Amino acid sequence: MLKRLLPFAAALGLAALPAAAQAPAPALGPADDPDATLVEELVVRGRLPGPAWWRVEDADTTVYVLGVPSLAPKRMQWDRSIFERRLQGANVVVLPFVNVRAKVTGSIGTAFNLMRLKSGGPYEDRLDAGTRARFVAVRTRLGQDARHYGTNNPLAAGVQLAIDYRDKNELTNMDPAKLVRYLAQQRRVKVVEKSYDLGGQLGGIARTPANVGRLCFDEVLSQAEAGPGVTLAAARAWAEGDVAGALANERTYERCLAAVAGGRTYDERTKADTAAAITNALRQPGHAIVLVQLRPLLAQGGVLDRLRSQGVTVKTPGEE
């Protein structure tokens, strides 16, 4: 169980205090979300078959940037003809910088903090009556009992619920990157990935206010109640090059990540590293492929916005 919880807890970096019984917290809003505001002139429907591509160019290099969903069905189908063509002769394929890890076996402190997250409970005993009834209905539909959420920590409960909801509905944040990695390796194209070791930050878990963890729990609960319809519709839009439709995807987890302590730092780091990876790819004549999740790609202060501010040429899917 801890190994399954770890990637989510590590991505958040810091979680929440054990919470007393409390009523639902206010919903997360735009102020909590660094990707809330998009650069509208970059949100353009693709003209070629399949998903939309952006281009970053200099005199002798083109970096083809494929915006990918933050959450999508496993084994999602999409027209790969443009991708296959651009993969031929590519210098490098850069996958989304979304991987996190923490070396539990190498850190007694990290293991202890994760154990503390998964102790106490059941969590539903700490909820007000109305929220408890909603939560019991959702976890029952997901096939889980109360002991499965044995924690006093609202964020840990929300994270576990997000895992269970995604598993039940076969949703993932790793597609189409897994397929792209496989196809690139088949063609012997260099693949670049980046993981962030956030194990050391887990020692600060108890310093984030309980109400922040409860915000995330309530958001995840609402998403699980609504079901995967929005995500499935957004995935279909993405596959057709409908960028605005693809951006309508659920972003519960991403908003939670940004709202907790350490989340903004992590967000800033991944965007800066991704922009730097594109800049590095421009240094080698020819062409490259970079995958970036759509919101961080197109938001104000996002990857493409940063590159444009540096004077780099960025072209939209409408300019193909």
* pLDDT-derived band at 31, boundaries 50, 70, 90: low
297 forms beta bridges with none
| Residues 101 and 196 sit within 8 Å (Cβ to Cβ) | yes
Helix (H, G, I), strand (E, B) or coil at 32: helix
Mean pLDDT of 91-100: 88
Long-range CB pairs of 186-193 (<8 Å, 24+ gap) are 187/87, 187/88, 189/87, 189/90, 189/91, 189/92, 189/93, 190/91, 190/92, 190/93, 191/92, 191/93, 191/94, 191/95, 192/92, 192/93, 192/94, 192/95, 192/277, 193/94, 193/95, 193/97, 193/99
Q: What is the DSSP letter of 63?
A: E
State residue 157's pLDDT score.
87
Q: Is the predicted pLDDT of residue 5 greater than 60, yes or no?
A: no
Q: List, in sequence order, the alpha helices (H) in the chain.
A: 2-12, 81-87, 108-117, 129-141, 154-168, 177-186, 210-226, 229-239, 243-246, 252-259, 263-281, 294-298, 303-309
pTM (predicted TM-score): 0.84
- pLDDT, tens digit (0-9, with 9 covering 90-100), for 271-312: 999 999 999 999 999 999 999 999 999 999 999 999 999 999
Could you give the count of Cα atoms lying within 13 Å of 249 in the half-sphere of its Cβ? 29
Mean pLDDT of 87-93: 97
Distance, in Å, from the CA atom of 43 to the CA atom of 247, rounded to the nearest integer, reads 9
Distance, in Å, from the CA atom of 320 to the CA atom of 315, rounded to the nearest integer, reads 8
Query: Mean pLDDT of all residues in the chain?
Result: 83
| Residues 272 and 69 sit within 8 Å (Cβ to Cβ) | no
Q: Quick one: which of 48, 98, 90 has its CA closest to 295?
A: 98
Q: What is the pairing mode between strands 53-57 and 313-315?
A: antiparallel
Q: Is the predicted pLDDT of residue 153 greater than 90, yes or no?
A: no
* pLDDT-derived band at 112, boundaries 50, 70, 90: very low
Q: Is the predicted pLDDT of residue 165 greater than 70, yes or no?
A: yes
Q: How far is CA 190 from CA 43, 95, 152, 175, 186, in A?
A: 29, 11, 45, 19, 10
